[in-house]
Amino acid sequence: MKNLDKTVEDKEVLDLFSGKSRENPFVLFSKMRKMGAVIPIPSPMEEIKTQAWVVTRMEEAMQVLKGHHHFTVDQSSVNTPHDTRKHKTDESDPPTFFGGQSMLSVDDPDHRRLRKLVSKAFTPRYMESLRPRVQEIADELLDEVQDKGKMDLVKDYAYPLPINVISDMLGVPKEDKEKIHGWSAAIAKGLSLGRRDPGVDKQIKAFGTYTMQLVDAKRKHPADDLTSQLVAIEEEGDRLSEAELLSMITLLIFAGHETTSNLIATGSLMLFDHPEQLEKIKANPALVTSAVEELLRFNGPATISGPRYATKDLELGGQQIKKGDMVIPVLKSANRDEQQFIDSEELDITRTIKRHLAFGHGIHMCLGAPLARIEADIAFSTLLRRMPNLRLSIPREEVNLHFTLSSQGVTSLPVIF
């Protein structure tokens, strides 16, 4: 890294971004914040040879995330001289949100148009109306294991709860949920900046093909679900193309459960790791709402936001950023910014939080944030009310915590109660 104290090696950062690192990422984030709010790194993506920067602190991360006049998510729009995309999708492959037709990969006005089409289904008011159904699902899942005195908290609870909710919303048949989970897990683990595991393209294609079949079924037999509503909008023309429709639905299915599953699973593990915090929440269930926000801040699902590209030369955090440079806000680092939070490396479920960046910020802020909060609120409240003696049934060092850029997840969490 240029002109900076070499307390962090380039390789450490690139290994972290590619998902190869087995180290505690928060130790590295702390080192990076000491180096500066914005620090240069080699491009983590071989196909994009521009200068790259990571943003480690909250104020600068917010500037990037809300500064859509100075930064874009669409790298092709800044026409950098080294724009040679290595992973082009096969023209015959069905569109998915990984291929660049979704809200994640466009800016206004297209972003506003796409987001508006689904935003009615994601208003806080509508999300609140789902609360009884989320509660019903949580209770049904715990009913199945209550008498056994043990369960795998991930497989029996943290994973099925959100996928049941989003599948209900989108009209995904019950029998298809396992397939969707398999594709989502493989994609979440197999894709990172600068990393594309063998076989992941096959999983993406299968996911896209499934979505095409789901859309086709809804065309023939519309129902009272969001997929049918989006199909109707697409058939009206002008507002949604076929590629945008398919990208939108794959995004909603994937993002609608993968990150929330990780929030519930990782959040539970964080509480096991901090028994004094777990006791506080048991003694006072009203703390669940603030606990969810603190768990999101302390170790939320997403490590980074999608890369942004500077649309002009500018200064950020004391660094000179050139037009076309890649800028990567590291959300998990910004959420532990010592300038924003007292004892930022400590978990404190009573903490009053003005803001965190676990759901991003600005126009691309996570559309499903209200739903994720409700699901987590109900998940933790129900779990701790019904199973007050909940604890790990295996040694902590045997818990397999996998780290990727999109999420830090727990594959299995055996518990007894």
How do residues 96-108 score in pLDDT, each as one tens digit? Answer: 777 666 888 889 8
CB 281 within 8 A of CB 274: no
CB 165 within 8 A of CB 379: no
> What phi-psi label fits residue 199: left (phi over 0), alpha (psi between -120 and 50 degrees) or beta?
left
CB 135 within 8 A of CB 380: no
Q: Is the pLDDT of residue 5 over 60?
A: no
Q: Is the pLDDT of residue 317 over 60?
A: yes
Residue type for 175, please? E
Which pLDDT score is estimated for 3? 43
**For the structural domain made of 94-302+340-416, what CATH number should be given?**
1.10.630.10
Which pLDDT score is estimated for 4? 45
Q: Is the pLDDT of residue 122 over 90?
A: no
Of 149, 385, 416, whose CA–CA distance to 281 is shortest? 385
Query: pLDDT tens digits, residue range 272-293?
Result: 999 999 999 999 999 999 999 9
Directed axis angle between helix 131-145 and helix 369-386, to 10°? 40
Which pLDDT score is estimated for 372? 95
Sign of the CA dihedral running 322, 326, 330, 331: positive
Q: Is the pLDDT of residue 90 over 70?
A: no
As a whole number, mean pLDDT of residues 305-310 equals 93
Q: Is the pLDDT of residue 295 over 70?
A: yes
> pTM to 2 decimals?
0.90
Residue type for 44, please? P
Which pLDDT score is estimated for 409? 76
CB within 8 A of 196, min separation 6: which ones?
87, 190
Residue type for 11, please? K
Q: Is the pLDDT of residue 143 over 60?
A: yes
Give the residue with greater pLDDT, 347 vs 191. 347
Of 149, 122, 144, whose CA–CA distance to 375 is shortest? 122
Q: CA-CA distance, 160 to 170, in Å (whole number)? A: 15
Give the residue with greater pLDDT, 98 vs 210. 210
Of 298, 282, 368, whose CA–CA distance to 332 is shortest? 298
Residue type for 142, please? L
Two structure tokens written together for 1: 């890294």
In the chain, DSSP finds a helix count (H) and a strand count (E) of 17, 14
Q: Tell me the backbone φ, ψ of residue 362, rounded to 5 degrees.
A: 80, -160
Q: Is the pLDDT of residue 217 over 70?
A: yes
Of 3-7, 61-65, 67-71, 119-123, give the range with the top mean pLDDT. Answer: 61-65
Of 6-20, 178-192, 203-217, 247-261, give the range with the top mean pLDDT. Answer: 203-217
Which pLDDT score is estimated for 186? 78
